[in-house]
């Protein structure tokens, strides 16, 4: 027979684990954002300085960064709401 104290200890332990996992997931998302953010700033500066003459290099970088940002966004949203349809 499980005592209320044992049940409470288990519930509290699970809550602590969930809180840690959420914190770690948040750290991972922040780390990934911190890698992507400077690339966005550089790309914005290149687009502003070159305008429509941006060329293939900028178009390729736009695709790469766009894909990485969409993946990061989707992972964050999935962590917050795993039941959300895609």
Taking only the tens of pLDDT, the chain with its 86 residues reads 667 777 777 778 877 887 787 778 788 888 888 888 898 888 888 877 876 666 777 778 888 888 888 888 888 888 777 776 65
2/57 Cα distance (integer angstroms): 64
C-alpha to C-alpha distance for 14 and 18, rounded to whole angstroms: 6
Cα 47 to Cα 29, 38, 43, 58, 59, distances in angstroms: 26, 14, 6, 8, 10
Sign of CA dihedral 39, 42, 45, 49: negative
C-alpha distances out from residue 36 to 7, 14, 20, 69, 80, Å: 43, 33, 24, 8, 21
């Amino acid at each position: 027979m499980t005592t209320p104290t044992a049940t409470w200890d288990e519930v509290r332990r699970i809550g602590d684990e969930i809180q840690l996992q959420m914190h770690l997931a948040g750290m991972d998302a922040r780390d990934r954002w911190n890698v992507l953010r400077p690339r966005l700033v550089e790309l914005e500066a290149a687009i502003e300085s070159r305008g429509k003459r941006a060329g293939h290099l900028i178009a390729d970088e736009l695709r790469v960064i766009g894909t990485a940002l969409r993946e990061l966004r989707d992972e964050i949203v999935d962590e917050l709401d795993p039941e959300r349809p895609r």
